Amino acid sequence: MRAGDRVRAAAGGHRWFLAVLSLGAALRLVAMLGYRPAIWFPDSYTYVVTALRPRPDLVRPAGYSMFLRLLEPFHSFGFVVFVQHLLGLATGVLVYAAVRRGHGLAWAATLAATPVVLDAYQVQLEHLLVSDTLFTFLVVAAVFAGMGTLTWRTACAAGALLAAATLTRTVGLPLIIIVGAFLLVRQVIAARGPVGRSRPLLVGLFAIVALAPIAGYAAWFSATYHRFGIVGSNGVFLYARTMSFADCGVMRPPPDLAVLCDDTPPRRRPPSQEYVWAPDAPLVALPGITFTGETDRLAGRFAFLALRSQPADYAASVLSEFGRSFTWGRPVYPDQEIYDYYQFPANVPAPPGRYPATVGAELAVRYERGPIGTQIVEPFAGVMRAYQDAVRLPGGALGLILLLPPAIVLGRRWRGARTETSWALPWVTSVSLLVIPAATAEFDYRYVLPAVPLACLAAALMTAGHTRPSETPRPADPVNIK
């Protein structure tokens, strides 16, 4: 058989997925033609500053900035967006491949990959100069590696990918614990199986590879700011989070913390982010910049006092923010300005007004070696706006997708049938990506999108074991000790 015939034969088994992938590629091409070279977000300018003046940032780690630095020789934010679109398509490929590798049905694998490939808000997020597309790809790739046969290569791959994800967005740090626990449990199960052999050192190797780059970055951060961490804003953001419920009448803070109180009833307070950025917020009004070590420690002390004093209120607030991920509609939140950043715009966005952003804009011109303003080109831009009005995964649908795996498992156990466990890692990771921002910051629509491909992957894996016997290869030993 000629090479071309072999390629056509191989592609034939994946024709529906290839059709979806081709449509996703076409959508991204239209977006690139309609919005040139990229769409800017307030955070984008800070990323550019760190990329061209390498130094740990107090608010966000430098992983995405190093991604921009890596692509700097092309001097094109359009090329950055092109790479981000490729990462979005690659994420869909990983989801599809993970389902097929786990012996899930082909139609389920295609459906699982469809949201990340075709969701209009996913395409728009890839067109924004923010870290989320890179973060999503790294996390999905880490889960893909962690679900495979455990060898020193896959252990190192999963660890390195999660280290990169953590240095892109700090929400990746708890995922190291989740994946490490999954690998450890799988090792214990393997030791009890017919082969009876396990290699716990592989889990240790995973931990070392995952934590070593983070420790190195923390050392760089410590040498720069003389305090430990990979960011210097944990206390500030947790303080802002607690202001959704904190009642100083219940907390009774000491005088040095009382300056951070807000007498406004919690139900009438603005979204949490306003307590970080609004000029009249109690914390911002203090002398010095918001993220000094002293201010961050003060904010952290207030936050932990609020958590100790009002644990039930905190739990209710987290559940409320978590629940926003599953609304069927798309109500404006946290405010109209942020909400609009996640839409393909009809008009050219205004240039940045805040001083730090203007510095980033100046450096961005140097990066681009030309103007950086977004050009809206019709009719391509209009096609994407119309598409965004019609095609998205509603939050309610995401909730149903997340409920599907545990519901199927309970049903099978009720009938005494064998249950699959491969769904557990992507499912727990997906839920964690929704819960952690709700617990430490606030709900944001772009924080939901990284959880979607993993939720779909977990649901599609529930079809494993239902392939016709003639199509099902013999399962591999879960632990490769070669």
Q: What's the pLDDT band for 471 if we cut at 50, 70, 90? A: very low
Q: What's the pLDDT band for 421 if we cut at 50, 70, 90? A: confident
Same domain, 248 and 297: yes
Same domain, 328 and 317: no
- What's the pLDDT tens digit per position in 4-60? 555 555 566 788 999 999 999 999 999 999 999 999 998 999 999 999 999 999 999
Same domain, 297 and 312: yes
**pLDDT score recorded for residue 191:** 66
* 3-state SS, residue 288: coil
- 475 has pLDDT over 50: no
Q: What's the pLDDT band for 148 if we cut at 50, 70, 90? A: confident
Q: What's the pLDDT band for 2 if we cut at 50, 70, 90? A: low
Q: Which two tokens stand for residue 111?
A: 């459906």
Tell me the whole-structure pTM to 2 decimals. Answer: 0.91
**pLDDT score recorded for residue 142:** 97
Instruction: Output 51 or 189, whichever has higher pLDDT.
Output: 51
**pLDDT score recorded for residue 468:** 42
Same domain, 132 and 247: no
Q: Which two tokens stand for residue 56?
A: 């740990």
Same domain, 169 and 313: no
Same domain, 243 and 221: no
Same domain, 114 and 58: yes
Look up residue 352 and give its amino acid: P
Q: Which of 322, 343, 363 is the last residue of a domain?
A: 322
Q: Which of 322, 340, 356 is the last residue of a domain?
A: 322
Residue 135 lies in a domain: yes
Residue 239 lies in a domain: yes
Same domain, 174 and 275: no
- What's the pLDDT tens digit per position in 217-251? 999 999 999 998 999 999 999 999 999 999 999 99
Q: Give the mean model confidence (pLDDT) for residues 117-143.
A: 97
Same domain, 352 and 414: yes
**pLDDT score recorded for residue 1:** 53
- Per-residue burial over 185-206, b = 16 or more CB atoms within 10 Å of its CB, e = otherwise: ebbeebeeeeeeebbeebbebb
Q: Which of 95, 96, 108, 104 is nearest to 451 (CA)?
A: 95
- 194 has pLDDT over 70: no
Same domain, 339 and 315: no
- What's the pLDDT tens digit per position in 256-278? 999 999 999 998 999 998 999 88
Look up residue 164 and give its amino acid: A
- What's the pLDDT tens digit per position in 176-185? 999 999 998 8
- In terms of Cβ atoms closer than 10 Å to its own Cβ (0-12, 13-18, 19+), residue 373 is middle
Average pLDDT, the chain: 89
Residue 480 lies in a domain: no
Q: What's the pLDDT band for 192 if we cut at 50, 70, 90? A: low
**pLDDT score recorded for residue 186:** 84
Q: What's the pLDDT band for 369 if we cut at 50, 70, 90? A: very high
- 169 has pLDDT over 60: yes
- What's the pLDDT tens digit per position in 373-414? 999 999 999 999 999 999 999 999 999 999 999 999 888 888
Structural Rg of the chain based on CA atoms: 23
Same domain, 242 and 365: no
Same domain, 278 and 359: no
* Residue 288 CB contacts under 8 Å (≥ 6 apart), including other chains: 294, 295
Q: 213 with 167: CB under 8 angstroms?
A: yes
**How far is 271 from 287, CA to CA, in rounded Å?**
23
- What's the pLDDT tens digit per position in 288-327? 778 888 999 999 999 999 999 999 999 999 999 999 999 9
**pLDDT score recorded for residue 477:** 40
CA dihedral 316, 320, 325, 327 (to 10 degrees): 140
The total number of structural domains that make up the chain: 2
Residue 475 lies in a domain: no
First to last CA, the chain: 34
Residue 126 lies in a domain: yes
Q: Give the mean model confidence (pLDDT) for residues 186-201.
A: 67
Domain enclosing residue 303, as ranges: 234-322
Residue 478 lies in a domain: no
Residue 57 lies in a domain: yes
Q: What's the pLDDT band for 349 if we cut at 50, 70, 90? A: confident
With a pLDDT cut of 90, the percent of the chain lying above it is: 73
**pLDDT score recorded for residue 342:** 94
- 197 has pLDDT over 60: no
Q: What's the pLDDT band for 472 if we cut at 50, 70, 90? A: very low
**How far is 291 from 243, CA to CA, in rounded Å?**
17
Q: Give the mean model confidence (pLDDT) for residues 350-376.
A: 85
**pLDDT score recorded for residue 399:** 96
**pLDDT score recorded for residue 187:** 81
Residue 453 lies in a domain: yes
